[in-house]
Structure 1
Amino acid sequence: MSKDPHAKRFEIQRLIERSLDLARRALREQGSFLPGFIAVESTGKYNVGVAAQGGTDGSNLVITALRQKAAARQIRAAAVYRDVRVRPRGALEDVDAIQVVAELASGESLNLFQVYRMEGAEPVFYDGPETEQVPSVIFGEAHRSAAGAKRWWNFWK
């Protein structure tokens, strides 16, 4: 991967967009979806997969597999997407959302939430997704776990 910040931004944005597209398509076709991932090999080839089960267990299996590939330097970037419930600021109830976490081997990591609601069998997506920078969980060093630090995967339902 290039050290050019524009190339990095393009790579992470492309991962987010493709992950969001996969999740949206699954919602339209099936009404729900299992956690999935996109891994980018050092050659630029994309590998796409879906967990064999849902919920936290499925998400943890995907993250563990990606961590192993990252530690072996088999991938240069990765994204994980899943179906979650979140509580928007000021809201009284949880709502459905697609969560995407995209990371580069260089440490950049973004977390995105796309809120939606189902109208019958069709998902309706709210305005735009919210994105924030988060600590790396796939490419982060194993020894970098500060005591009491909360990371996004601890909150997955």
Structure 2
Amino acid sequence: MPRPSTDLGAYIADVGEAVRKRREALGLDRAQFARMQPSISYRLLQAMELGERTRYSDFALAKLERKLGWESGSFRRMAGGGEPKAVEDRLIAAEYDRGSRVETRHYRRQGVNLVQRIYDDVSADLTADDDLTLAEREALLEKALEVARSQALMIIHTERRHRRRLRGND
């Protein structure tokens, strides 16, 4: 069974140019951009930028949209002659430091770093408890952050199962 794909057809040169410009605006060469998470093949990126082929899997295009900071469906719009649409409020923003080759992820919503917010709230609450040593506070803080991560993943998986069940009942 073939994978769902999108044919960029007559607009492949414009699409490739838009991808190249956005990648360069991020300050990355092809190899750096391809390695950045979610990773894609260098060859796929090169083929798109140079217009060497027109059909790409929807999965690969979705990864590219995320990496480029474009909304889902941007490539489909571009396949019809439209423009990509930038994500206004990215929940996960990645910054790549070319010198150290380190990618840092920031979890933001409406300009607020969510992990920092959780850290600050828990730290403030722990600081109010004079009975704990610094090592105990740090251990509790680390545990609280891990529980928050686990709960977030559980919510996502539960919602996915629920949606799958609903689709199965249609």
Q: Structure 1-normalised TM-score?
A: 0.22
Which has the larger share of strand?
1
Tell which has more relative contact order, 1 or 2 (C-alpha 8 A, sep 6+). 1
Q: Kindly name which structure, 1 or 2, has the bigger radius of gyration based on alpha carbons.
A: 2
Which has the larger share of helix?
2
Q: Structure 2-normalised TM-score?
A: 0.21
